[in-house]
Structure formats: structure tokens, C-alpha cells
Amino acid sequence: MENTRERLAALERRLAELEGQVDRELNREAGDSSQERATDTLPLSPRLQVVYDSQRTEFRVLKPEGQAGVCLVGSEEGGAIQVLDACGRVAVVVDATLVGGRMRIYDTRCHEVLRIEVDEEGGLIECRMPQGGLGVRLRSREDGGEFMVMDGERGTGVQVCSVGGSIEVALLKEGRLVMKGVL
């Protein structure tokens, strides 16, 4: 009985491998594969899947019910890790940019709530309000740091920066500079 199960599992893996090869060959014969996406189930496990086209490749780890839980993405821009929630929506993305790295966290409405970025100038952390506007920003650069607290889309808040040995404080109302002082 054990030998039969092993043989059946080996046949399933080989069949999945052959199906992937046939898909790739059909896409190659079809000519312009940039418009098509192909999907392979890796012979390692039925819960691992590769989806690719001419622009990007995704390696998906599937949950027991068949939905993707984690995707590793490779493209011309770089690589990314996407973590999906129970409904299949992107909840967290960690990716490479042309100048550094970035992490974004989304709410259940697919709105970006938290962003962390690093580039050659320093780092940035932004937290957004539920309605989408900026709530808090913390930034560090070679020439100093910045801290900003806003009320979201209305654009009212305060910004404090340290620049060249001095501290600048700016008050904003409805997105416009109301008052600025240097200490």
C-alpha cells in the first residue's frame, strides 16, 4: 500500500512537471507571450505555484484551500514579498526600489496605512489616517530630521525640522503654510 502511494505521488509530480513544460512550449509557439500569463504548479508540492509573463515572475505559496498566502515577485524593478490576508488582499509588501528598500502595510480596504522607506539620503516612516490623508511623518536625512503631525486630508498640522544646526517649526492649515519660525 505504501509503495502504491509513493508511486502515485511520483506520477502526480511528473504530470505537473510535464503540464508546465507543455504550457511553456505552447506560449513559445504562440509568439508574443508578453500578453499571456502562464501558471505552473511546481512538482515539489501542489501548494507552490509559479505565475509568469515577460514582465514579472511570481512564486506563490498557497494556503490549504488553494488561495495564495505569500507571493515572491521578481521583475525589472527588483524583488518583492507580498503577504496576503485571509480574503486574498495584499496586507504587507516588502520590496526593493531603485534607490533602497520599502515596506508598505495596508488595511482591509486596501489603503496604505504605514510606509517605511530607505534610500541614499536616509529613512522615512509615514502613517496615514483611516480616510487616507497623512497622520504622522518621521524622516531622517544627512542634513537633519523632520517630524510632521497632520490631521489627514484636511492638511492642518505642524512640521518640525532640524536643518544645519537650527530648528524650523511650521504650522500648516488646509495645506498652506500659516506660520514658520526658526530657532
Q: Say if residue 175's pLDDT is above 70.
A: yes
Backbone angles phi, psi at 102, to 5 degrees: -155, 145
Question: 28-42, 61-75, 104-118, 156-170 — which is least confidently predicted?
Answer: 28-42
pLDDT at residue 84 in the model? 93
pLDDT, average across residues 53-82: 87
pLDDT at residue 32 in the model? 47
Compute the distance between CA of residue 80 and CA of residue 92 in angstroms, rounded to an integer. Answer: 10
Measured at the CA of 28, the angle between CA 26 and CA 29, to 5 degrees, comes to: 65
**Which of 161, 128, 135, 130 lies closest to 146 in space, CA to CA?**
161
Q: State the chain's mean pLDDT as an integer.
A: 82
pLDDT at residue 92 in the model? 96
Q: Say if residue 157's pLDDT is above 50.
A: yes
**Which of 161, 156, 180 lies closest to 170 in space, CA to CA?**
180
pLDDT at residue 41 in the model? 57
pLDDT digits (tens, 9 = 90+) for 72-110: 998 887 899 999 998 889 999 999 888 899 999 999 988
Could you write out the three-class secondary structure of the chain?
CHHHHHHHHHHHHHHHHHHHHHHHHHHHHCCCHHHCCEEEECCCCCCEEEEECCCEEEEEEECCCCCEEEEEEEECCEEEEEEECCCCCEEEEEEECCCCEEEEEECCCCCEEEEEEEECCEEEEEEECCCCCEEEEEEEECCEEEEEEECHHHCCEEEEEEECCEEEEEEEECCEEEEEEEC
Q: Are strands 144-150 and 78-84 parallel, antiparallel or unpaired?
A: unpaired
pLDDT digits (tens, 9 = 90+) for 7-37: 666 666 665 665 665 555 555 555 544 456 6
Reported confidence tier of residue 148, pLDDT bands at 50, 70, 90: very high
pLDDT at residue 165 in the model? 84
pLDDT at residue 82 in the model? 95
Q: Say if residue 59's pLDDT is above 70.
A: yes
